């Protein structure tokens, strides 16, 4: 690897393929399982060769050594670190923003990114501290969707919220103790939406809960289980507000 501070090992068929397709990262080398069928990596091969990169066949042990996990699906790529989007005033002119507050589990973070991309929430805000960044494990769980959205990670959650409020967004928080059922919240595509999702072990911050326009919940038929998984709850909320 070139430098731990500037590159990372992406792994998995879809993450590598989408990183190459998106073209937002510098990509340096691609290694593939020497025993895998050659046609398995044909889309990756084509995208890589367009960049002047040839696939290098190696053993499964070498792939594990490169990425540190056996979830590589036979392919690992050395690429520049995740290209976060700068926090500018223009961000707060976009119709829909998603804030992930206290989402610390990389698997939940990746799954939420995947749903966000699917349902048209292409701008995500993450706190600089207290949450998972876009690590290779997050890229893997997102199936490469992380490469096609803008992720801002420059401030704390309260600061994002304050800027959104000032810019005229309707602010909606998803919380299991919310006072309004999600399905009872109308979807108004003419009004900019700032949606806030929290983690399973740690709720959305109290300041945001106090100041939000709406704190919504997802009603459950069986209340014997404490709550939905964070990424599942996020998918339901993102679908609702997508207007699909």
My answer on whether 116 and 200 are in the same domain is: yes
My answer on whether 210 and 126 are in the same domain is: yes
The pLDDT of residue 203 is above 90 = no
The pLDDT of residue 224 is above 80 = no
235 belongs to a structural domain: yes
Among candidate residues 80, 108, 141, the one where a domain is terminated = 80
pLDDT in tens, 150-183: 999 999 999 999 999 999 999 999 988 888 999 9
pLDDT in tens, 81-123: 999 999 999 999 999 999 999 888 888 899 999 999 999 999 9
pLDDT in tens, 57-75: 999 999 999 999 999 999 9
CA 53/CA 55 separation, integer angstroms: 7
pLDDT at 1: 46
Among candidate residues 80, 99, 122, the one where a domain is terminated = 80
In this prediction the pTM is: 0.91
Determine the structural domain holding residue 122 and report its residue range. Answer: 89-242
| CA proximity to 100, closest of 157, 159, 37, 184 | 157
My answer on whether 112 and 219 are in the same domain is: yes
Q: How many helices (H) and strands (E) does the chain have?
A: 8, 11
């Amino acid at each position: 690897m070139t430098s731990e501070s500037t590159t990372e090992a992406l792994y998995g068929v879809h993450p590598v393929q989408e990183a190459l397709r998106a073209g937002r990262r510098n990509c340096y080398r691609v290694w593939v399982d020497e025993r895998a069928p050659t046609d398995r990596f044909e889309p990756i091969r084509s995208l890589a060769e367009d960049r002047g990169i040839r696939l290098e066949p190696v053993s499964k042990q070498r792939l594990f050594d490169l990425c540190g996990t056996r979830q590589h699906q036979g392919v690992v790529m050395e690429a520049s670190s995740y290209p976060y989007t700068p926090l500018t005033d223009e961000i707060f002119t976009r119709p829909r923003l998603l804030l992930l507050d206290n989402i610390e589990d990389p698997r939940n973070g990746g799954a939420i990114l995947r749903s966000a991309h699917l349902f048209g929430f292409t701008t995500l805000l993450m706190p600089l501290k207290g949450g998972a960044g876009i690590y290779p494990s997050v890229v893997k769980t997102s199936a490469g969707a992380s490469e096609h959205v803008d992720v801002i990670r420059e401030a704390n959650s309260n600061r994002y919220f304050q800027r959104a409020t000032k810019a005229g967004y309707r602010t909606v928080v998803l919380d299991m103790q919310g006072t309004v059922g999600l399905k009872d919240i109308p979807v108004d595509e003419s009004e900019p939406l700032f949606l806030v999702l929290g983690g399973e072990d740690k709720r959305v911050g109290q300041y945001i809960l106090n100041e939000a326009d709406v704190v919504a919940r997802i009603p459950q038929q069986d209340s014997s289980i404490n709550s939905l998984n964070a990424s599942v709850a996020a998918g339901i909320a993102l679908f609702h507000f997508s207007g699909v």
